[in-house]
Structures are given as C-alpha cells and as structure tokens.
Structure 1
Amino acid sequence: MKNFFALLTLAAGVSILAACSDGSDSGTAVEAAADTMTLEQAVNDNPTRSANNLKRDMYRNPIETLRFFGVEPDMTVVEIWPGAGWYTEILAPYLQENGKLYAAHFAQSETRDYYVNSRKQFVERVAKDPAFSDIIITEFAPDADSEIAPPGSADRVLTFRNLHNWYMNSGTDGVQAAFATFYTALKPGGILGVVDHRLPENRPDTHMDSSGYIKQSLAIDAAEAAGFEFVDASEINVNSEDTADYPRGVWTLPPTLGLGEENLERYLEIGESDRFTLKFKKPESSS
C-alpha cells in the first residue's frame, strides 16, 4: 500500500471488511477496492490539493469536466502543458494506483523564462511529492515532433486552456499540429478533451490574435482536420457574465487580474472566463 492512500483507505477499508465478513470475497479483492480513489475523493478529499486551487473549483468544475471526458482511474492519461499542476493535483492521485499519467510539459529546449521556470518547478515537485511520484514527464511543443506518450497508448489526452497560446504563436496551423500530435498518442477509440476560453462566434477572427480567447468552431475544425470525430460539447464551464472584451484580454479576469486594483471588484464579480468544453474521438478504425 502506498502511504499517500493510508488515510483515505482506512475508513473505506473498515466498511468494506464489514460488508465482506461472510468470507465471500478474498482479502485481495478487499484491498483492491480500498485502494481505488473515487473522482469525488480526488477533488474534494485530497490532501495534495492546495487551498487556493480548491477555491477555483467553482469556475473549473473538475468533477463534471473529468466525468464528461470519461476519465477512469485505470486509464492512461496525457495532460498537456500542466503548468503548476492545477489538474495534476487531481489526476495524479486518482490514477496513481491503477492508471498512468503522462505530463507533457514545456519543451526542454525552451529558453523563455516562464516556460523554463514552470517546467523546473514541476519537475521538482514530481521528485518530492509522493502523490506526483509516478508521473511520467514528457514534453510538448505544437511546432515540433513531440512524443507526449508512446504512439497509440493513451486512453485520454486532456488540454486545459492551451489552444489560444498555440493560435497566438502559430495561427490555425499551430492548433492543427497540436491535435495531430494528440491523435498519434491516442489509442483507436481514445478521447481528446479540450477546454479553452471562448470567443463569441460573431467576433472578428483578429480578436483571437492576442486576447487569449478562441472560437469554439476553430477548435472543432482543427480537430476534425487532424482526423478526430467530434463527439459532444458541454456547457459545464460556461460563464454568461464574461463579455470577452477587456483591456488585457482574458488575463484581466481572475486568476491573473492583470489590471491590479483597477475595476477589481467588477472583475472578481465576473469570475473566471467563459469556456467551451469539447470531446473528440480518434476513430476506432484508426491504425
């Protein structure tokens, strides 16, 4: 048993043993059941998660989002550009016992300070945090031949609030190249889950150039161009108060609050951005 799960499994183990007191189940089966962390535990009863990250659940809806993407604890999952690890804090312990988590972080060849420091801090946490200890760190750059996981090995590839970066750097080609990499990593029938800041469809495309917002239709078109089948869209992460027209783009809103004290109460009241949540599938017939 791994120490990280000791507290979580103690109470669960007592109830499971009582239910199996007639001897109908083996000790091995009881132990396996006790070791399985539920998604609710990974989100709400998880000592790895920081207090600040817990406060953002109201905007990011992790239980509903991961359930929509069909993430199960025995899957192989790739998280793209995990940054400081907001979703990693949930995925790492959830997958630790029976699944596998690849963290496709910024490329080691990056020279920009933000990317270098973010990857360095993440690598250090993997080395020190028991909940992160089984993570396999890979790398991803949309304009490079990145192996984010062995080809055809992943059940799920998940990317949260990243497409706008690839678009701002390389336009539609950058987004399509990213999706092509995800397609290669997924098993036939595997799912790509995408969340990003939504630009209203009636705005000019030029509003995607630097605002941090991106059109849902562009994401769908790029995924289909890479070979994916569009499965479904969810309004789990909708925010009707977000007008997507701020002086510093999406970074005007929480958590960045790029204007500091200027109109702070207004932006706090709006909350985090309006986001689309999309699910795509690699066709079963893919080789």
Structure 2
Amino acid sequence: MRMIFAATALPLTAVVALSAAGAMSQSPTTAALEKAVAAPTRPANAVARDQYRHPVQTLSFFGVKPTDTVVEIWPGGGWYTQILAPYLHAKGTLYEVAPMPNGLNGIEKLKAAHPAVYGFIHTAAFPAEAGQAGVPDGSADVVLTFRNVHNWRMGYQQKGVDYAPQAFAQMYAMLKPGGILGVVDHRLPENADTAREQSSGYVKVSTVRKLAEDAGFQFVGASQVNANPKDDANHPKGVWTLPPTYALGDTDRAKYAAIGESDRMTLKFRKPK
C-alpha cells in the first residue's frame, strides 16, 4: 500500500539551521580530498574513471590524513598518485614503491611533467633486494595497495612465484604500530575455485584476509564502495576482459562496457600497537 504523508511547513529559521548543518557535515579531510581529486594536473582519462574507483570515499574509509606518511605500493602509471600527491604535498609524506629499476617509470614521468606537484615524492624499491633502498621500517602511517594482490598471487615480476606472503610481511614492517593497511582488489566470489586466483586477476576476500592476518594485521572492516554487482568475475580473459583493458578488443565490447570496471573489495587492516 502506498502511504501518503502530509507536508509540514518549516519555519525559515529551521530551514536555515538544517542547511547549515548539512554544510558543516563535510569534514575538512573530505574537503581536502575533493580538492585533490579536482587537481588540474589530473588528465581527463583519469578523471573518467572516478565513477568506478570512488577515490574520495575510498581514501576516507582508509582514514588517510593530509599529515600522514603514506606508502603506495606498485602505483603503475600513477592513477592514485595523481590524487595522493596534491593531498599530501603541504604537510604529509608520500612514498611510491615498486620493483627496480623500471617499476616507477610512470611516477618519474609525472615528476618530470609537474615537478611542483610531484617533486616531493620519495621512491623506493618494493620488494627491496640486496643493495636497494626500501621504505624504513616503522615509518608509515598508512600503506595503500590498489589492485596488486592478484599480481603477487600470479607471480607477476617474481618469476612465477606467489609473492603475496612476503609482500604483506614487508608492508607490515613499514608501518608504525597502529598504522593502517588499505587494500583494494578485484573480488573473486568465495564459492569459486581458488585456483582461478592464479590466472583470472580476481582474488577472494578470504585469501586477502588470511594473507594480512598471517602477517600480523588485525582486520578493521570492509567497505562496499567499490562493489560492482554487474560483474560476475567470470570472463574469457579474466578481469582484463573488462574496461579499461578490453582484452577481447571489439568483441562484445558494448557488453563489457555496460558491466564497467570490476567488482572490488575494499579492506582495512591495522598493525597492532
């Protein structure tokens, strides 16, 4: 049955009070994140993906503050770097880390193109091999990794060896006691064959939780901000079938465009004090 409620007129003072309360509900951190997302140095093709990656909500969920020391693991071309750099530039510290010598080529291009925005970024090796500088132990407030656990599970850049346990151990070492690990990755349904983690680009939430907890992390919580119920995680060429990769080229392109980017977990962990 449809229910009808009578409208009650509010006094002007009440309307003004409600409007003021709504305006005050946005925290300074959220405002700073929105300003970073709107940075003029972000290219249009990066901004177009905000609808799938929800950077303000994601970084808010992880609790990243403008004064934090943040480590971004394996940043690739720097999609999140283009937000984290203007956000942390004034008061924070940002490390970008990846396999050396070529894993940070995308970050070096950003630094060369916009030194005023990205020049303050520290770079380090991850994993750090003999003679390579890594992130100092116990120095980070937040470690972030976006869509990389599946790479470690598949042995990407590690000669086919599942590097995930070592990666989580190193991320644990980087963090201060009480520091936060934020993980976003393509989500494999729990009832799927775990063997698909070795080829599909999707990973189970239970797998990520076990990796983190085995390394010593405490699970804080999960957000569905990056969930995509249209994605069943079952595609001919794994997650790369979907945008932005379109591994099948023009075959069924409209179908995969309608799905959008992958269904993703967003998990928050803490290093115990």
Aligned to 1:125: 110
Aligned to 1:196: 185
Write the distance in 1 (CA, Å) between the matches of 2:145 and 2:106. 20
Aligned to 1:49: 42
Which residue, out of 48, 53, 58, partners 1:60?
Answer: 53
- In the TM superposition, structure 1's runs of 4+ consecutive aligned residues that sit over 3 Å from their partners are 142-148, 170-173
Aligned to 1:167: 153
Deviation at 1:172, TM superposition (A): 9.1
Write the distance in 1 (CA, Å) between the matches of 2:66 and 2:237. 38
Mapping 1:13-162, distance limit 5 Å: 38-43=32-37, 45-108=38-101, 116=102, 119-129=104-114, 130-141=116-127, 148-162=134-148
Write the distance in 2 (CA, Å) between the matches of 1:49 and 1:188. 33
After superposition, the Cα gap between the structure-2 partners of 1:121 and 1:233, relative to the gap in structure 1 and judged at 3 Å, is closer
Structure 1 length-normalised TM: 0.79
After superposition, the Cα gap between the structure-2 partners of 1:257 and 1:41, relative to the gap in structure 1 and judged at 3 Å, is same
Q: Output the amino acid matched with 2:113.
A: K
After superposition, the Cα gap between the structure-2 partners of 1:261 and 1:134, relative to the gap in structure 1 and judged at 3 Å, is same
Q: Output the amino acid matched with 1:240.
A: P
The percent identity for this pair of structures is 53
Q: How many residues align?
A: 240
After superposition, the Cα gap between the structure-2 partners of 1:235 and 1:282, relative to the gap in structure 1 and judged at 3 Å, is same
Write the distance in 2 (CA, Å) between the matches of 1:235 and 1:69. 13
Q: Output the amino acid matched with 1:196.
A: D
Extract unaligned runs of 5+ from structure 2. 1-30
Deviation at 1:227, TM superposition (A): 0.5
Extract unaligned runs of 5+ from structure 1. 1-36, 109-115
Deviation at 1:187, TM superposition (A): 0.3
Structure 2 length-normalised TM: 0.83
**Contact between 2:75 and 2:104, CA under 8 Å: does it hold in 1?**
no
SS of the residue corresponding to residue 164 of structure 1 reads helix
**Contact between 2:76 and 2:106, CA under 8 Å: does it hold in 1?**
no
Write the distance in 1 (CA, Å) between the matches of 2:223 and 2:106. 33
CA RMSD of superposed structures (Å) = 2.0
Deviation per CA, 1:40-79: give whole Å up to 9, x if none.
Answer: 1001x21111101111011000000000000010000000
After superposition, the Cα gap between the structure-2 partners of 1:64 and 1:145, relative to the gap in structure 1 and judged at 3 Å, is farther
Q: Output the amino acid matched with 1:124.
A: K
**Contact between 1:146 and 1:181, CA under 8 Å: does it hold in 2?**
no
Q: Output the amino acid matched with 2:268.
A: K
Deviation per CA, 1:135-168: give whole Å up to 9, x if none.
Answer: 0011213888975421111000000000001001
SS of the residue corresponding to residue 211 of structure 1 reads coil
Deviation at 1:107, TM superposition (A): 2.0
Aligned to 2:270: 281
Which residue, out of 174, 186, 197, partners 1:185?
Answer: 174
Deviation per CA, 1:3-56: give whole Å up to 9, x if none.
Answer: xxxxxxxxxxxxxxxxxxxxxxxxxxxxxxxxxx7111001x211111011110
Q: Output the amino acid matched with 1:107.
A: M
